[in-house]
Amino acid sequence: MQPTNQGELSGSVARRPLDVEDYLDIARRHRSWILAPAFAGLVIAVVTAFLWPDSYRASGMIRVVPPKVPNRLIQTNISEAMTQRVASIYQDIQSRGTLTNLIQTHNLYPDDRKRLPMEDVVEKMRSAIDVGQIAGMRRSDSGAAFRVSFSYPDKRIAQKVCSDLISRFIDLSLSARSSQSLITTEFFRDQLESAKAEIDEIDRRLTALRVRNAGQTPDQADGLINRINSLESTVQSINSSLNRVNQEKLQLETNLRFLRDQATAAVKGEPAGAGAGSRAGGAPRVDPRLAQIESEIARLESSLALLRENYKEGHPDVQRAQSYLDAKRRQWEDMRREIEAGSLAGPPASAAAAASAERRVPVELSRSIAQVQSALQAKDMEMEDLNRQMRATQDRIREIQARLEASPATQQEYIQLMRDRKLIEDRYNELATKANVSAMATDLENRKQSETLEILEQPIMPTDPYAPNRQVIILGGLFIGMAIGVALATGRELKDTSLKNLKDVRAYTKLTVLGSIPLLENDFIVRRRRRLGWLAWAASFLLGVLLMAGSVVYYYTAQT
């Protein structure tokens, strides 16, 4: 049956549903449109897969080494976490200058550098570098590691560049930590010097204030008050000395009157004991030697009382004065017993001895009177000297009190300066502590005993390329080509509205088909068409096979 045009029916009659036989018939009619794209996709995929150069990935492992000295003993100057530090180093390595240096050092991408600008070559290398994540690592983690890898068509160069990248990671980490720690230490030193300069300036102002207002500052006022107290103690000591001198002077005057009475009695020819006894109202005679010892005892007692007011009993001066006083008292007792013994032995003496003693009395009395008068003159001079010291001490006390009663403005300025100095001194001490800790941390960094990076796995030369995945590329190209062929066949089938078989005739004409006449064509034309089709397919197949074989041969030849 001759296929008829369905254009008039297509607007009003819907297409009939297709079955398996119809799909097979469609595939048979459009097999060339399906197989040709599929074969072309296969050829393109094979050529692409084998002309695509291999990419080798060399990788190494870097781990974090904990500090040799615990952080609780020496606090580090580094504030950033390890993940942040690795990210910062990675950014430094990916900078244009570093990558350009690596490209020129290892002669990377020679072909690309001839036809592309350096920015594109740097971007290509930047995409070839990969740094693994340090997942879940905290600041103080020890033993944490991360991987550094580099991809390149030459596996030997890939290994060298990866080793260079790892070395740069470690060197940049050390230099960054050392530089940051040194900057921190220098900062504290500068702050410390600034605080010291402020303290020196305040000390200079305090010194000028003390010189300009001597005795009016609070610290000097305390010293002046202590000096007033000391001078008042001196006044008390002088008063005690004056009292003592007065007592000794009275005692000496009494002795002098007694000796003069004795001398008068001796001149008149009366017995020494009688004349003195009658004028003294029958009182016993006082020996001048005892009187002198008694005056010394009184002076020592006065001095001892003054020492006890200022010192305790265990003080060496008090004990020495007490011992001297006890010795004088014993001497007085011994002298008194000796005089009593002599007076008892006097009456049995002969008249001649008595007459001789009467003749010696005036000489001894004159000597004693002279001694007592000399002692009185000495006491007068001592009293005059003590009065002079008293006046000078009181004048000094009044002068110091006048200085203490100066204007309070000076004290207010002094208090403000001392308050400022205390604040700056506290800051200086705190900065000094921090500067010492920072200096030790910097020394630890310079000794490479702090937290560092070290190579855990050296990069090794890769044996197999990781890209491209040729099986996936070939299967993907074949699938894409076949999908394009199916799409072309579907489009041609939808565009063709002619009646293809008896099912179409019955479905669209609603007529009873009694028979069909096949399409009669010229045999020569049919054979010629077939020959041309086979020739085209053979040439295409041969060309595709040659292209695929050439790409495979080129790949394995380049490998050797």
Q: Strand, coil or helix: what is 207?
A: helix
Q: How confident is the model at residue 354 (pLDDT cuts 50, 70, 90)?
A: very low
Size (the chain), residues: 560
Residue with tokens 């000297």: 385
Residue 7 is predicted with a pLDDT of 43
CA-CA distance, 345 to 119, in Å (whole number)?
A: 140
Nearest to 412 by CA among 216, 202, 201: 216
pLDDT in tens, 221-245: 666 677 778 888 888 888 888 888 8
| Predicted local distance difference test score (pLDDT) of residue 519 | 64
- Report which residue type is found at 237: S
pLDDT at position 126, please? Answer: 92
The CA distance from 43 to 169, in Å, is 45
Distance CA 203, CA 198 (A): 9
Residue 512 has pLDDT above 90, yes or no: no
Instruction: Identify the weakest region by mean pLDDT among 10-19, 311-320, 510-519.
Output: 10-19
Nearest CA-CA partner of 310 in 256, 364, 233: 233
What's the confidence (pLDDT) of residue 160?
A: 93
Q: Spell out a b/e string for 137-148, using b for 16 or more CB atoms within 10 Å of the CB, else e.
A: beeeeeebebbb
The whole-number average pLDDT for the span 12-24 is 74
> What is the maximum span of the chain, computed from C-alpha positions, in angstroms?
214
Q: Over the chain, what is the mean pLDDT?
A: 78
The whole-angstrom separation of Cα 142 and Cα 76 is 15
Does residue 218 surpass a pLDDT of 80?
no
Lowest mean pLDDT among 13-27, 160-174, 282-296, 495-509: 282-296
- Asked if pLDDT for residue 44 goes beyond 90, the answer is yes
Instruction: Identify the DSSP state of 157.
Output: H
510: left (phi over 0), alpha (psi -120 to 50) or beta: left
In order of 49, 230, 253, 471, the CA distances from 467 in angstroms are 10, 100, 133, 11
Most confident of 5-19, 255-269, 410-424: 410-424
Parse the chain into domains and list their residue ranges: 7-48+479-559, 56-189+452-457, 218-286+332-405
Q: Give the least confident one: 463-467, 481-485, 522-526.
A: 522-526
Cα 278 from chain centre: 101
Give the confidence band of 278 by pLDDT, cuts at 50, 70, 90: very low
The whole-number pLDDT of residue 456 equals 87
Instruction: Name the percent of the chain lying above pLDDT 90.
Output: 19
* DSSP one-letter code for 13: S
Structure confidence by residue, pLDDT tens digits, 59-68: 999 988 888 8
| Structure-token pair, residue 228 | 């007033």
Cβ neighbours of residue 559 closer than 8 Å, sequence gap 6 or more = 54
Domain at 56-189+452-457, CATH class: alpha beta
Residue 269 binned pLDDT confidence (cut-offs 50, 70, 90): low
Binned at pLDDT 50, 70 and 90, residue 82 comes out as: confident
Which 3 state secondary structure label does DSSP give 453? strand
d(CA 448, CA 383): 83
Tell me the C-alpha to C-alpha distance, in Å, between residue 515 and each of 3, 16, 502, 532. Answer: 13, 21, 9, 33
Residue 108 has pLDDT above 70, yes or no: yes
Q: pLDDT tier at 11 (50, 70, 90 boundaries)?
A: very low
Rounded Cα distance, 373 and 258, in Å: 13
Confidence of residue 408 (pLDDT cuts 50, 70, 90): low
User: Quick check: 164 and 106 in contact, CB under 8 A?
Assistant: yes
